[in-house]
Amino acid sequence: MALKAGIVKDWRYLNHDPGSFHPETPTRLKAIYELLEAPNVADAFELIEPREATLEEIALVHSKSYIQLVAGTAGKRHISLDCDTVTSAESYDVAKLAVGGLLNAVDLVVDRDVANAFAIVRPPGHHAEEDGAAGFCIFNNVAIAALYAIKKYRFKRVLIVDWDLHHGNGTQHSFYNDPRVLYFSTHQYPFYPGSGSIHEIGMGPGLGYTINVPLGGGPGDAEFLRIYRKILDPVARAYKPDLVLLSAGFDIYMKDPMGGMNVTTRGFAQLARVLLDIADECSKGRFAVTLEGGYHIDGQAQSVKAVLREMNDDTHASPETLEAVEQDADPAIDRVIRQVTEQIEPLWKIFQ
């Protein structure tokens, strides 16, 4: 019997409440969960129970002083960790649960108890730095998961892909001089948080293991797919990761109020197929996803469902389908692709 995709889903994630008018609202998850509880969907996926991450696990990325700062918010109504990131009484526990949910997902993926996994959690994480919150993010879920997998399973190489509208500054900084993690990001630029230029490619032993594809507004399914197939796919196959992780931000959705991108629900599934194929080829199928941003409530829910159906092999975008979609890309995107490959060409000989 074929393995199902796993999902981390727990209503306690709604207990992090940064305020009535905050974009990172519990309603984001509520809409996804309600969609996944529909009669024709509920039994399609394997439910993964989350746990609270230990302080030792969180300290793989974050300083002890910062963890203590966040712990000090427990039980307090509202505390601003930065201008965008606000806690409520239960946020510390929920943030630990978000990290632990993804870690449990990684464990089940590695143990082959599920085909792959999607941690549908909040708060998001990719902006969180070693010693500070940022951009709605408290703990950096995906960065912690990468180091957890390296430590526990002795993995030598982990690929983190980030398709959120906003650059994952915290994730990049966690691994900027570390070749054990290859970080690949597509994002709107210049935009919050201001990092992620084409020239940011790592340093020291990590030189070439950070790849940024900064984009102006406008790209949609075809343009993103061409970037992923022309840059990420060959680099990832040369890198041969032991595990593929995805920071899945759905604010590149075509109607998202924060962004200027034009990706459709089907486009998200096609991008996921590129990553699933990389994982199948290089990582024994080990692929885990964590939710980042996304602020069009229904669009995000439908896009998550489309990605999950692709992960579960209910849909399966063929190479021919991907090729046909890519052919419709605006030729202007080729200039961006050339600029990125020129930056990394001396380090990744595959482009020569």
Cβ count near 113 (within 10 Å) = 14
The H-or-E segment that residue 304 falls in is helix 297-311
Write out the two tokens for 263. Answer: 């990706």
**DSSP 8-state class, residue 229:** I
Q: Where are the beta strands (DSSP E) in 57-132?
A: 79-80, 86-87, 117-119
With 0-12 CB in 10 A as exposed, 13-18 as middle and 19+ as buried, what is 182? buried
Q: Which residues pair with 244 in a beta bridge?
A: 159, 287
CB neighbourhood size of 133 (10 A): 28
DSSP state, residue 54: P
CA gap 303, 294 in Å, rounded = 10
The SS3 call for residue 110 is: helix
Amino acid code (one letter) for 270: Q
| Token code pair at residue 253 | 């959705």
φ/ψ of 311, rounded to 5, equals -65, -35
How distant, in Å, are the alpha carbons of 60, 135, 193 from that of 84? 24, 5, 11
Amino acid (1-letter code) at residue 279: A
Per the residue annotation, which of 62, 127, 166, 187 is the catalytic one? Answer: 127
Contact between 80 and 86 under an 8 Å Cβ cutoff? The reply is: yes
Nearest-angstrom CA–CA distance, 13 and 121? 6
Told to judge if 78 belongs to the known catalytic residues of this protein, a careful annotator would answer no
Q: Which residue has the tokens 């209910």?
A: 314
Antiparallel, parallel or unpaired: β 86-87 and 79-80: antiparallel
Give, as one character, the DSSP assignment of residue 13.
G
Beta bridge mates, 262:
220
Catalytic residues: 127
